[in-house]
Structure 1
Amino acid sequence: MAPRASKPLQPPREVRREQLARLFVEVVEPLLQQGETYAEISVERLITAVDISRSTFYVYFDDKGDLLRAMVEDVTQAFADAAAPWFELGPDATRKDLRKALQPLFDAYHQHQMLLGAITETAAYDQQIREQHAALVDRAVTEITRHFRAQQKLGRAAPLDAPRTARWLVWMLERGLYQLVAPAKPAEFKRLLDTATDIVWRVLYEGYRDDA
């Protein structure tokens, strides 16, 4: 008698929730770009777009607000991945290398500009989303501080107060990316990237690395 085929294992709930959140990001952003607000988009339209049932939606998400929080987690990870090249710059990196490392972060904010607007709007009354945003900022501060201190030990970064300098830079970049970069046209996007590179280079590295 031939052995029965084993039933494919279903991914754990948290993994499936992350997968669905990523699909919903791809659905929600075009709707927001068309001028709709997140509040106007019904659950029915969302589940139809990703081809799941209402019961399946509520297995993974409590409501539309919970879905937005899951999408925030997905976008937050995208931003963390985009920032990683900067945090991993080596001791011999040049200004050109810094610009190249910052570009993925700029691209990520530009790509998710409409969802960022929905997140900002909802954060005004959703404490969990505010906390998610604060956690993203803290994570960035921690990573920049780690990178900055490592470069200081090698004599490749300015002798500044690393944690406080990192916090200033993160808040400057976070607001600038949201307010200026997200809606920028291509030519302005390039100028903003060049300017941010100059600011970071002059604050952290100028005089300690080759200005190339």
Structure 2
Amino acid sequence: MLRKSERTRQSILNAAVKFLSTHPFRDLTVAHLMSLAGTSRSAFYQYFGDLHDLMETLMQGLEEDIFHVAAPWFQGDDDPTPLLEQTMAGLVQLCYRQGSILQAVADAAPMDERLEKSWMDFLTAFDDAVTDRIEEHQAIGMIEPFDARPVAIA
């Protein structure tokens, strides 16, 4: 069971996701968010420095979800084709469910260097993981050699 402080933090995050599912990030205010979360404005600042800090927290959760969904292909030892199909289906579902966070990050990152760097670091880490996995499959002869990095980035 979550402690009260963790429940409050989670209610703020849930309210942000709900808001972002119907509104752009630029329309998000702390006052409106806290009204949705049903708690005080001061509670927001107990957990987040500003709205960009909140976005970074949402993005970190999304990153964890993405790597979790991609784990079958990244870690599987079986035939990679069905594992990749499973992973891609999971990623599409995740992006459908959490697309509002992706859109908000895209909206907010150009205004916040820290958030932009976090997003770029995540993309690089994901591209690195995909590149490594393709190259592993190439090394054992599962797939033909080609330059894996551009495919990973795509």
The interval holding the TM-score normalised by the smaller chain is 0.7 to 0.9
CA contact (8 A) 2:13 2:58 kept: yes
Among residues 36, 39, 43, which one is paired with 2:26 in the alignment?
39
Larger Rg, first or second structure (1 or 2): 1
Deviation at 1:85, TM superposition (A): 1.8
CA contact (8 A) 1:24 1:46 kept: yes
Which residue does the alignment assign to 1:209?
none
From the superposition, tell whether residues 40 and 118 of structure 1 become closer, same or farther in structure 2 (CA, over 3 Å). same
For residue 143 of structure 2, give the secondary structure of its aligned residue in structure 1: coil
Unaligned runs of 5+ in 1: 1-9, 173-212
Deviation at 1:134, TM superposition (A): 1.0
Which residue does the alignment assign to 2:151?
169
Residue deviations 1:158-212 (CA, integer Å, cap 9, x gap): 2234xxx23x23432xxxxxxxxxxxxxxxxxxxxxxxxxxxxxxxxxxxxxxxx
Question: What's the C-alpha RMSD, in Å, of the aligned pairs?
Answer: 2.7
Among residues 58, 67, 70, which one is paired with 1:83 in the alignment?
70
Please give the alpha-carbon distance, in whole angstroms, between the structure 2 residues aligned to 1:115 and 1:145: 25
From the superposition, tell whether residues 129 and 40 of structure 1 become closer, same or farther in structure 2 (CA, over 3 Å). same
- TM-score (ref. length: structure 2): 0.80
For residue 156 of structure 1, give the secondary structure of its aligned residue in structure 2: coil
From the superposition, tell whether residues 78 and 67 of structure 1 become closer, same or farther in structure 2 (CA, over 3 Å). same
CA contact (8 A) 2:25 2:108 kept: no
Residue deviations 1:72-125 (CA, integer Å, cap 9, x gap): 2122222222222221232x4153332112211111111111221121111222
Among residues 157, 172, 178, which one is paired with 2:143 in the alignment?
157
For 2:28, give the aligned amino acid. I
Among residues 39, 55, 68, which one is paired with 1:52 in the alignment?
39
Among residues 106, 122, 140, which one is paired with 1:136 in the alignment?
122
Which residue does the alignment assign to 1:182?
none
From the superposition, tell whether residues 58 and 94 of structure 1 become closer, same or farther in structure 2 (CA, over 3 Å). closer
Please give the alpha-carbon distance, in whole angstroms, between the structure 2 residues aligned to 1:97 and 1:83: 9
From the superposition, tell whether residues 50 and 148 of structure 1 become closer, same or farther in structure 2 (CA, over 3 Å). same
CA contact (8 A) 1:79 1:108 kept: yes
Percent of aligned pairs with the same amino acid: 20
For 1:101, give the aligned amino acid. T
The question of 1:121 aligning with 2:102 is answered no
For 1:45, give the aligned amino acid. H
Deviation at 1:60, TM superposition (A): 1.8
Q: Which has the higher helix share?
A: 2
From the superposition, tell whether residues 96 and 85 of structure 1 become closer, same or farther in structure 2 (CA, over 3 Å). closer
Structure 1 segments (4+ residues) deviating >6 Å: none
Which residue does the alignment assign to 2:16?
28
Please give the alpha-carbon distance, in whole angstroms, between the structure 2 residues aligned to 1:71 and 1:122: 12
Corresponding pairs, count: 152
Which residue does the alignment assign to 1:96?
82
Q: Which stretch shows the higher mean deviation, 146-155 or 55-64?
A: 146-155
Please give the alpha-carbon distance, in whole angstroms, between the structure 2 residues aligned to 1:94 and 1:67: 36
Which residue does the alignment assign to 1:207?
none
